């Protein structure tokens, strides 16, 4: 019962190729950085603003301890080298909003409150159900109270001064408990009534509150309701979570007032305060690891241009093609360009979309026919197109037919990102073989899209996506969902972003296209910070490593000095979170350091030069001459690293943490 209610949402979420289970465990203690070759550290303040939680309900010292919240985190890369060499250290600041501030916030919530009762099943086929409360033997009615998530976020954003503003370098986390502020909340008695099995029972009513939003697919107009959130944020550098909200079926986390009574906790005694600190800390842990210092999925790579090459390939039946929608209506080039450009403001972002029929490519048509199986996914009941077979046909580590479509370059001047987007017939979906019990349902058996590192694959279908509004659970005839949302999501992975719910599910309620639940089209401020930090980290790490292995000579002293000045400028901006402004200095530092390294390795040694110009001329003139002879001329525009042997633009190789020449097949 519950599963089928989850499905309308589950069907349109995406699975990344790298699928990590949700981890609730605490981070292990980190080993001090010596010996790991780390060369940069950055400090981030995490300002926790409590709304409705008072200092005497918890133990602030215990909350800030390393056993409760993470003290440090490497900038991890999940698919690639382990980390970037950057380590973040977190300073926790606790602020307790006064009673009148919390009261005025609660009054604001009441003023935008919407109420809707739900029952164990929908009253109409497309009627609302709270998927957490579907047990007809114990539930008479769920009284749901909804607050518009965007309005709540903008109230907090415009009242930041009440809480002392955002840290100069860091993020604000609002942690609310509003159950004693006249916000209708799920309580322990209702919980007991609902979960206690009894026969016969008198079904009882429950109350709960949530944050909600309504979104519309930009291509085909399907309206989607996202009712059951317990947190929200991402438009700027703060996140809001309400521990008294819920329970939400999406996270399965109990509100604090229920969880504490379930454990028999009283915050008036010593242990109760420790328990409360740990409870809050486990949410802080999620926000820090998912949002404030998230993992990178792939290494973030600097380039002057990001060139997104999308091939939208129609594999529908002739009847479906004439039924519509037309392929060109299923994707929005402008929206993809604008959102990806928001991640890399220092670079050019171009999007090229080519529309074609699969039959235009006979080889592709043949492999698609092979991959289109009669196997069915056991959860959704949908037939499977074998994604691995299709990927193998394209990838250069397989049959390599991607070269029929695009010659991919990855250099500091251009990074090409190829994507193949399929329109399947019927309700086909991409699927992959799984080693688990193939007779039992497995949520990892199918995917809407995947970011594979060298390309994106997306598969949507006529029935389950483009015309899904015709389905009675939607009741929106003629409406559907197109490629744009999924394309931005997968391209976000290719840029390096991960999902925001790896460490805790609450942060899936974030205003970002990288989540599953919210169906946002835009990236969050956390995403933008993560990418721009990553770009600076890459360039600065290179500069620092190059300088540390370069001998200071007569000829490169100028470059070394320039590199150090640019590093200092970049770090200053980085430390005030002007990550976008820092990029030009990080880039200049990398170029200067690279030049210094090349000069130090030059075949003409200082000794030889000295003998040529004669010792009598003296050191001062020698330095000047050396500088004039060997100083690079610096053009007015931005210069990019080129191979000293062949002058090809260099590619940053994150695995080796150095520049690599693809033509000469060697690192520089
Ligand atoms: Zn994903
Ligand atoms: Zn070369």
pLDDT tens for 341-384 read: 999 999 999 999 999 999 999 999 999 999 999 888 877 788 99
Tell me, in angstroms, the distance from the centre of ligand 2 to residue 667's CA: 9
Q: Give the number of whichever ligand sits closest to the CA of residue 17.
A: 1
342 is a domain residue: yes
133 is a domain residue: no
Determine the pLDDT at residue 546: 86
Q: Give the number of whichever ligand sits closest to the CA of residue 498.
A: 1
Q: Give the number of whichever ligand sits closest to the CA of residue 13.
A: 1
Residues 53 and 171 in one domain: yes
Residues 229 and 336 in one domain: no
pLDDT at 283 over 50: yes
Of 227, 261, 292, the position where a domain reaches its end is 292
270-284, 336-350, 606-620: segment of lowest average pLDDT: 606-620
- CA proximity to 121, closest of 136, 111, 106: 136
Residues 76 and 157 in one domain: yes
Residues 576 and 645 in one domain: yes
Of 292, 320, 340, the position where a domain reaches its end is 292
Q: Are 250 and 508 in contact (CB under 8 A)?
A: yes
pLDDT at 638 over 50: no
pLDDT at 14 over 80: no
Residues 101 and 63 in one domain: yes
Q: What residues have CB less than 8 Å from 140, skipping those under 6 apart? A: 119, 203, 204, 205
Give the pLDDT band of residue 22 (cuts 50, 70, 90).
very low
192 is a domain residue: no
Determine the pLDDT at residue 257: 98
Residues 462 and 361 in one domain: yes
513 is a domain residue: no
Q: Give the number of whichever ligand sits closest to the CA of residue 666.
A: 2
Residues 91 and 214 in one domain: yes
* Mean local confidence (pLDDT), 233-261: 97
Q: Establish whether this prediction's ipTM goes over 0.95.
A: no
Q: Give the number of whichever ligand sits closest to the CA of residue 645.
A: 2
pLDDT at 648 over 80: no
Tell me, in angstroms, the distance from the centre of ligand 1 to residue 158's CA: 32
The percent of residues above 90 in pLDDT, for the chain, comes to 70
pLDDT at 200 over 90: no
Tell me, in angstroms, the distance from the centre of ligand 2 to residue 665's CA: 7
Tell me, in angstroms, the distance from the centre of ligand 2 to residue 530's CA: 31
547 is a domain residue: yes
Tell me, in angstroms, the distance from the centre of ligand 1 to residue 13's CA: 8
Q: List the domain range (segments joined by +) for residue 603.
A: 529-667
Higher-confidence position of 401 and 67: 401
Residues 176 and 237 in one domain: yes
Given phi > 0 = left and psi -120 to 50 = alpha, else beta, which region is 251? Answer: alpha
28 is a domain residue: no
Q: Give the number of whichever ligand sits closest to the CA of residue 456.
A: 1
DSSP, res 234: -
Residues 431 and 573 in one domain: no
Q: Give the number of whichever ligand sits closest to the CA of residue 20.
A: 1
Residues 477 and 533 in one domain: no
Q: Render pLDDT for 515-559 as a digit per residue (tens, 0 to 9).
A: 999 999 999 999 999 999 999 999 998 898 889 888 888 888 999
Q: Give the number of whichever ligand sits closest to the CA of residue 650.
A: 2
pLDDT at 13 over 50: no
Tell me, in angstroms, the distance from the centre of ligand 2 to residue 664's CA: 4
Of 451, 476, 495, the position where a domain reaches its end is 495
Tell me, in angstroms, the distance from the centre of ligand 2 to residue 29's CA: 43
466 is a domain residue: yes
Tell me, in angstroms, the distance from the centre of ligand 1 to residue 14's CA: 6
Residues 320 and 452 in one domain: yes
Residues 275 and 318 in one domain: no
Q: Give the number of whichever ligand sits closest to the CA of residue 451.
A: 1
Determine the pLDDT at residue 401: 97
Q: Are 179 and 257 in contact (CB under 8 A)?
A: yes
Give the pLDDT band of residue 16 (cuts 50, 70, 90).
very low
Determine the pLDDT at residue 436: 64
Tell me how many domains the chain contains. Answer: 3
Distance between alpha carbon 663 and the CA centroid of its chain, in Å? 33
Tell me, in angstroms, the distance from the centre of ligand 1 to residue 72's CA: 26
Tell me, in angstroms, the distance from the centre of ligand 2 to residue 589's CA: 21
Q: Are 554 and 606 in contact (CB under 8 A)?
A: yes
Tell me, in angstroms, the distance from the centre of ligand 1 to residue 519's CA: 12
pLDDT at 121 over 50: yes
Give the integer Cα–Cα distance in Å for 540 and 542: 5
Q: Give the number of whichever ligand sits closest to the CA of residue 661.
A: 2
Give the integer Cα–Cα distance in Å for 90 and 292: 10
515 is a domain residue: no
318: which 2 tokens?
A: 């002739």
Tell me, in angstroms, the distance from the centre of ligand 2 to residue 650's CA: 8
């Amino acid at each position: 019962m519950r599963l089928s209610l989850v499905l309308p949402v589950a069907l349109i979420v995406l699975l990344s190729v790298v699928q990590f289970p949700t981890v609730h465990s605490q981070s292990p203690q980190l080993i001090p950085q010596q010996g790991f070759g780390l060369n940069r550290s950055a400090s981030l303040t995490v300002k926790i603003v409590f709304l409705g939680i008072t200092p005497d309900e918890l133990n602030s010292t215990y909350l800030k301890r390393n056993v409760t919240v993470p003290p440090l985190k490497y900038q991890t890369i999940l698919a690639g080298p382990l980390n970037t060499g950057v380590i973040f250290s977190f300073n926790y600041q606790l602020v307790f909003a006064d009673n009148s501030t919390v009261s005025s916030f609660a009054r604001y919530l009441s003023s935008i409150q919407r109420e809707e009762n739900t029952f164990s099943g929908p009253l109409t086929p497309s009627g609302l159900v709270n998927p957490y409360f579907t047990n007809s033997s114990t539930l008479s009615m769920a009284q749901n109270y909804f607050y518009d998530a965007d309005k709540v976020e903008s109230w907090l954003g415009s009242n930041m001064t009440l809480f002392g503003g955002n840290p100069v370098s860091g993020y604000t986390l609002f942690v609310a408990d509003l159950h004693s502020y006249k916000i209708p909340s799920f309580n322990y008695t209702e919980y007991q009534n609902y979960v206690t099995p009894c026969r016969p029972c008198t079904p009882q009513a429950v109350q709960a509150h949530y944050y909600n939003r309504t979104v519309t697919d930009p291509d085909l107009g399907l309206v989607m309701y996202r009712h059951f959130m317990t947190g929200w944020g991402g438009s700027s550098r703060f996140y809001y979570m309400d521990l008294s909200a819920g329970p939400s079926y999406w996270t399965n986390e109990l509100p604090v007032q229920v969880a504490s009574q379930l454990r028999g906790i009283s915050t008036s005694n010593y242990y109760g305060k420790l328990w409360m600190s740990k409870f809050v800390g486990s949410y802080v842990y999620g926000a820090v690891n998912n949002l404030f210092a998230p993992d990178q999925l792939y290494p973030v790579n600097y380039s002057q241009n990001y060139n997104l090459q999308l091939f939208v390939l129609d594999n529908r039946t002739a009847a479906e093609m004439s039924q519509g929608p037309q392929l060109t209506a299923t994707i929005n080039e402008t929206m993809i360009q604008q959102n990806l450009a928001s991640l890399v403001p220092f670079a050019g972002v171009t999007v090229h979309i080519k529309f074609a029929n699969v039959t235009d490519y006979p080889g592709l048509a043949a492999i698609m026919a092979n991959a289109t199986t009669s196997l069915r996914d056991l959860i959704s009941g949908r037939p499977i197109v074998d994604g691995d077979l299709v990927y193998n046909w394209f990838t250069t580590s397989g049959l390599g037919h991607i070269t029929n479509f695009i010659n991919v370059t990855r250099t500091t001047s251009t990074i090409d990102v190829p994507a193949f987007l399929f329109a399947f017939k019927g309700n086909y979906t991409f699927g992959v073989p799984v080693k688990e019990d193939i007779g039992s349902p497995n949520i990892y058996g199918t995917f809407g899209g995947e970011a594979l590192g060298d390309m994106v694959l997306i598969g949507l279908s006529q029935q389950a996506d483009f015309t899904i509004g015709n389905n009675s659970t939607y009741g929106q005839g003629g409406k559907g969902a197109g490629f744009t949302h999924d394309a931005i999501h997968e391209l976000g992975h290719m840029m390096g972003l991960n999902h925001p719910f790896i460490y805790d599910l609450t942060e899936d309620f974030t205003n970002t296209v990288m989540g599953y639940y919210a169906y946002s089209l835009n990236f969050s401020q956390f995403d933008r910070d993560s990418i721009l930090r990553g770009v600076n980290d890459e360039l600065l790490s290179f500069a620092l490593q190059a300088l540390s292995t370069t001998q200071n000579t007569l000829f490169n002293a100028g470059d070394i000095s320039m590199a150090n000045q640019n590093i200092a400028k970049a770090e200053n901006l980085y430390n005030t979170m002007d990550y976008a402004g820092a990029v030009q200095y990080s880039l200049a530092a990398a170029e200067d350091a690279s030049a210094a390294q090349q000069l130090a390795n030059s075949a003409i040694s200082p000794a030889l030069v000295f003998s040529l110009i004669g010792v009598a001329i003296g050191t001062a003139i020698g330095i000047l001459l050396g500088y004039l002879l060997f100083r690079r001329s610096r053009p007015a525009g931005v210069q990019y690293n080129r191979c000293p042997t062949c002058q090809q633009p260099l590619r940053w190789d994150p695995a080796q943490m150095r520049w690599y020449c693809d033509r000469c097949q060697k690192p520089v």
